[in-house]
Amino acid sequence: MHTVVVGTSGVTASDVLAVARDGARVELAEEAVAALAAARGIVDALAAKPEPVYGVSTGFGALATRHISQELRAQLQRNIVRSHAAGMGARVEREVVRALMFLRLKTVCSGHTGVRPEVAQTMADVLNAQITPVVHEYGSLGCSGDLAPLSHCALTLMGEGDAEGPDGVVRPAGELLAEHGIAPVELREKEGLALLNGTDGMLGMLVMALADLDMLYKSADITAALSLEALLGTDKVLAPELHAIRPHPGQGASAANMLAVLKGSELTGHHQDDAPRVQDAYSVRCAPQVAGAGRDTLAHARLVAERELASAVDNPVVLPDGRVESNGNFHGAPVAYVLDFLAIAVADLASIAERRTDRLLDKNRSHGLPPFLADDAGVDSGLMIAQYTQAALVSELKRLAVPASADSIPSSAMQEDHVSMGWSAARKLRTAVDNLTRVLAVELYAASRAVELREGLSPAPATQAAITAVRKAGVEGPGPDRFLAPDLAAADAFVREGRLVSAVEAVTGPLR
């Protein structure tokens, strides 16, 4: 099994994906262990002094003015975990929880948190044992960390609360730790706070969304190319020289992808035949501009993610000169904004795909295709209601595009009076990515059927490869009405698992 080694300088997106989705093992680098020990020495020295230090010998948040005596500090650390493990709602997905835990470990290993090496090792042991704390949907405002989600993870380290074992069964965390020979941690000064205070949940969901959207944007270029073929559109608008004079990188990449997918098609360029058109509709002609703007948004979000992956997010932090300083680096605004930006881009990409689908089904705009791509229109309804489903998904995506980061709500007796709502932005982006996949699956279903109905003209080798592969995946072609939901589910799986992109890239080579 692949092993990810965590040092002091952060981790990569591929590390997060390996641990969260592939179950990779985690090891602590020697430099991380040394940094942990050095920072802990500083915290221990401050804890022994009579002067109060926030997070070490004081309460937290609005209660930070109380100095805590030494005999109560272990209880304080336990209490902050127990009281903050206050999540509600549905369970969060296993991959999200593993990303959350791994990214918290990343910050702990930076040497800026003051956590003991044995606590960090226990975090790695829990990940390696495939024990997944039960984390709930609600409880983070995206400021002072993803508090409730991280607290549920810390509770598992203490041997309390519930967790899911490697067999998928939820049991008391103490039982699972004992079965794997992991001793529960006894938290000391600052450690409870350090385990809760980060943007790890929203960052993990951002990293996974970026990976999914990289594949889906390629998928969207393919389905747009299929629709262009089915509508007998022109590929002249994809010429590199046209996109060179408006040099947005994403636009150029999308146009190049569509041009590569359409190479060798006999279906393009017929817009002046039986039903002359000066130019194609925006949803066809402007596909690279819309998908390209989304790609550029992805690039910006990826830059923010890379910076956050290299960050140590905690409060207070241990600095190399021995100071322990309070700060605001836990605020999730940088991550929250790009999560919201991506939700907007996803909604628009789905919207333009739905417009192309509707055009394929409308006999007044489809340039010779049967109404709703039906076998015997009137007797058969064809794909009429598949487009309804797609439209419902797009409508939902528009609602999900409303930014969460614009909706701060104060907490902690007005001490934490401006929050990012980044966790909420991440949760709705996950739904948006799922719905975009379904929207593209419907466009693929409609466009592939429409291309097959254009008798006498051959599609491009790449689009033919996509159609052949999707038929082998259980998505049937033209014919009388049948139970449609299984076909749509098979098309969804075909897109979601990356098989559409793989089928096309087998002909075109890697898409951009």
Catalytic residue among 54, 138, 217, 337: 54
CB-based contact 145:221 (threshold 8 Å): no
Q: How far apart are the first and last CA of the chain?
A: 30
Give the amino acid at 204: G
Return the SS3 of 238.
helix
Q: Is the dihedral of CA 493, 494, 499, 501 positive or negative?
A: negative
For strand 3-6 and strand 25-28, is the pairing parallel, antiparallel, or unpaired?
A: parallel
How far is Cα 165 from Cα 176, in angstroms, rounded to an integer? 7
Whether a cis peptide bond, with omega within 30° of 0, leads into 172 is: no
Distance CA 447, CA 450 (A): 5
Among the listed residues 351, 373, 354, the one whose alpha carbon sits nearest the alpha carbon of residue 363: 373
Q: Catalytic annotation on 445?
A: no
Across-strand partners of 138? Answer: 88
Backbone angles phi, psi at 340, to 5 degrees: -70, -40
Which residues contact residue 328 at a Cβ distance below 8 angstroms, ignoring those fewer than 6 apart? 315
Cβ burial 441-459 (10 Å sphere, 16+ → b, else e)? bbbbbbbbbbbbbbeeeeb
Burial class (CB in 10 A: 0-12, 13-18, 19+), 391: middle
- The amino acid sitting at 455 is E
> Which residues are tagged catalytic?
54
